[in-house]
Amino acid sequence: MLKPDAGPAVAERLADAVIALRQRPLPAALRARAEELLIDVSGLCVAARGNDYMRALIASVDAGGGCTALGHA
C-alpha cells in the first residue's frame, strides 16, 4: 500500500505555486494558455475515471487516506 507523504499535498503545492504566480504579472497569452491546459487536463481526468486502468489503480490504493483522485469523490 502507498504510505502518505509527510509533506504538503500535491493540491497544496499547486495552490502555493498559483498564489506565487499571482504576485507577478504574467503575459496575457501565457495566462490564457495555462488556463486552457488546466481545463484540458481536468477534463481528461474526469473522462478517464471510468476506464479499467483507473478503476484498477483506485482499487489498489488504500482508501483510508485523506485525498481523492480528480473525478472520484
Interval 45-62: pLDDT, tens: 888 888 898 888 878 876
Contacts of 70 (CB under 8 A, 6+ apart): 42, 45, 46
Task: Quote the pLDDT of residue 39.
Answer: 93
**In which domain, by residue range, is 37 found?**
27-63
Task: Quote the pLDDT of residue 63.
Answer: 65
Task: Quote the pLDDT of residue 26.
Answer: 82
Task: Quote the pLDDT of residue 3.
Answer: 58
What count of residues does the chain have? Answer: 73
Is residue 21, in this structure, part of any structural domain at all? no
Contacts of 47 (CB under 8 A, 6+ apart): 71
Is residue 49, in this structure, part of any structural domain at all? yes
Task: Quote the pLDDT of residue 22.
Answer: 78
SS3 49: coil
Is residue 55, in this structure, part of any structural domain at all? yes
Domains: count for the chain: 1
Is residue 14, in this structure, part of any structural domain at all? no
Low-confidence ranges of the chain (pLDDT < 70): 1-6, 62-73
Provide the grid cell at 15: 495552490
Is residue 73, in this structure, part of any structural domain at all? no
Is residue 53, in this structure, part of any structural domain at all? yes
